[in-house]
A and B are shown apart, each in its own frame.
Chain A
Amino acid sequence: MGTNLIWLSAVGLEAIILCRGVKAALLRKYPLFYAYVICVFLIELLRFSCHEFAPNFYQAFYWHTELVTIVTSYAVIVEIFGGSLRHNPAVTRLARTSMLVVFVLTGTYVASDMLHGGFASLPRVTAELGRDLRYVEGALLLVMLWLFGRYRISFGRNLLGLAIGYSLLVGLDVIDLAFLFLPGNEFSIALRKSLPITYVITLSIWCSGLWSFQPEPLPPAENAIDRDYALLAARTRAALAHLSTRVGRTLRP
């Protein structure tokens, strides 16, 4: 009963996010994110139908669709990346390089892990591939969050909600997947049970952050006269400061 309630809440919240996206005209602003939500929404409905009408097939179906969910969630990373660094070309270039390095490093780690582990049944391979893709995604997200903090990148309410909800989901999923693949780990069982609640919390954050359109902070614009005057004033002040230091040094006994 409780599980069904969480499930239905998730589906309901996804529907609300989509409806608000259409009403607040956010669909065009964050198309990749909404494509991801549509995909997850459809998968949830399919899983529900499978659980009800073909429960024997559910486990395999779950892991296959989980892989699709993880692959499509990369779209959210792209959305956050593009939206937050639109006005910061310097940081964008740095972020691209760092993320490429992290992608290659994590990808290599994951590939070597998979090769050492050998190949088991198809659902097991699918589950492991999904887990490894989540690890790569987590590493990319970590680099992005670090850069946002380091360079004090400013966020609007919409993008912040998107980033915080997504970080909560990926962060806890990464921890959970790490424990899940350890045989006989009871902590994982508890964590796995709390994950649907985390997903509902994530959806609530997205719902609140993307309820209405909020403008992103823009770099201050100046007209040409102001700009020239400010530049001239800065240069004069710098020259005066430089001169006063020199005079001070000359007058010192």
Chain B
Amino acid sequence: MSGLIPIVLLGTLILIFSGRLLMQWSRRSHTPVVTIEDYSQARAALDSVFAETAAIKRIFASEDMEFISQAGTGDVQRFFLKERKTLAIQWVRMTQKQVADLMDLHLKLASYTYDPSPRSEIKLTVNYLCFILASNGLLILLRLFGPFEAVRIVAYTVRAQEYFCSEFSLRLEKIDPVKLSSARQSGSV
């Protein structure tokens, strides 16, 4: 009976994925085409992500909290904690969205590369799943304990974000521009 579950799951997943394939085909006219403009915009977005990362680390800096604890009153401390918590949650959500967008573009561009590596693709997928898990865990920790108690997981999230950016940068380096269409042209991806 225990052997039955994986087999039934296999059959069910085949049916679900074929349904998804059909949906993907029916939506092909609504799917935006990957253009040469996307190529350049992605690179610009990447630069801003790198610049923001350094500033974001400051949200979780424990020195600020230590300073407020020494110099401020109870009200100031509460206000400071509330502000930082809101900011931190906003940052995590924004990071999740940015990485999801980059991943989406990365997958669309995957077939336009010169030198694909299955190993790096699998590594990227595993890292992406870990990132989703860690960033959602971080959201829970931030809500429960505030921004200064989740430093280790924040460090992981920032490292993961940097990893995705550098991976994505490598992908852009390897793109075959011959296969990219300009925005004027239409086609499917």
Question: Are A and B subunits of one complex?
Answer: yes
- B173 to A: closest C-beta gap in Å: 12
B41 neighbours in A (Cβ, 8 Å): 241
A170 neighbours in B (Cβ, 8 Å): 11, 14
**Interface of chain A: mostly helix, strand, loop or mixed:** helix
Question: Cβ of A142 and Cβ of B7 under 8 Å apart?
Answer: no
Question: Cβ of A249 and Cβ of B25 under 8 Å apart?
Answer: no
CB-CB under 8 A for A142 and B17, given A175-B11, A220-B181, A241-B44: yes
Question: Cβ of A145 and Cβ of B111 under 8 Å apart?
Answer: no
Instruction: Please tell me if A155 contacts chain B, counting CB pairs below 8 Å.
Output: yes
B50: nearest chain-A partner, CB-CB: A245
- A192 to B: closest C-beta gap in Å: 14
Residues of chain B at interface, number, CB under 8 A:
49
B174: nearest chain-A partner, CB-CB: A90
Mark contacts of B111-124 with chain A using CB atoms, 8 A cut-off: 1 yes-contact digit, 0 otherwise. Answer: 11100101001000
B1 neighbours in A (Cβ, 8 Å): 182
Q: Which of B24, B40, B113 contacts A241 (CB 8 A)?
A: B40
A138 neighbours in B (Cβ, 8 Å): 10-11, 14
Complex: A249 Cα to B187 Cα, angstroms:
38
- B74 to A: closest C-beta gap in Å: 32
Question: Cβ of A171 and Cβ of B43 under 8 Å apart?
Answer: no
Question: Cβ of B15 and Cβ of A168 under 8 Å apart?
Answer: yes
A233 neighbours in B (Cβ, 8 Å): 36
Question: Cβ of B116 and Cβ of A182 under 8 Å apart?
Answer: no
Question: Cβ of B18 and Cβ of A145 under 8 Å apart?
Answer: yes
A178: nearest chain-B partner, CB-CB: B7
Q: Which of A174, A177, A234 has the most C-beta atoms of chain B within 10 angstroms of its own C-beta?
A: A234
- Of A35-43, A48-56, A91-99, the one touching chain B: A91-99
Instruction: Please tell me if B149 contacts chain A, counting CB pairs below 8 Å.
Output: no
Question: Cβ of A174 and Cβ of B18 under 8 Å apart?
Answer: no
CB-CB under 8 A for A237 and B40, given A145-B14, A154-B189: yes
Instruction: Please tell me if B179 contacts chain A, counting CB pairs below 8 Å.
Output: yes
CB-CB under 8 A for A88 and B111, given A149-B24, A217-B188, A230-B177: yes
Question: Cβ of A145 and Cβ of B177 under 8 Å apart?
Answer: no
Query: For residues 137 through 189 of chain B, which have their beta carbon under 8 Å from a beta carbon of chain A?
Result: 177-182, 185, 187-189
A234 neighbours in B (Cβ, 8 Å): 36-37, 39-40, 177
Question: Cβ of B118 and Cβ of A150 under 8 Å apart?
Answer: no
B15 neighbours in A (Cβ, 8 Å): 167-168, 171-172
Question: Cβ of A175 and Cβ of B47 under 8 Å apart?
Answer: no
Q: Which of B7, B47, B110 contacts A90 (CB 8 A)?
A: B110
Q: Which of B17, B25, B44, B187 contacts A220 (CB 8 A)?
A: B187
B178 neighbours in A (Cβ, 8 Å): 222, 227
Question: Cβ of A93 and Cβ of B17 under 8 Å apart?
Answer: no
Question: Cβ of B39 and Cβ of A217 under 8 Å apart?
Answer: no
- A159 to B: closest C-beta gap in Å: 10
A227: nearest chain-B partner, CB-CB: B178
A2 neighbours in B (Cβ, 8 Å): none
Question: Cβ of B110 and Cβ of A245 under 8 Å apart?
Answer: no
Question: Cβ of A135 and Cβ of B7 under 8 Å apart?
Answer: yes
- A193 to B: closest C-beta gap in Å: 17
Question: Cβ of B48 and Cβ of A245 under 8 Å apart?
Answer: yes
A-B contact pairs, 15 of them (CB 8 A): A88-B111, A91-B110, A141-B14, A145-B20, A152-B107, A152-B189, A168-B15, A171-B12, A174-B10, A174-B11, A179-B4, A219-B179, A222-B181, A238-B44, A241-B44
Closest 4 CB pairs of A and B: A241-B44, A167-B18, A90-B116, A171-B14
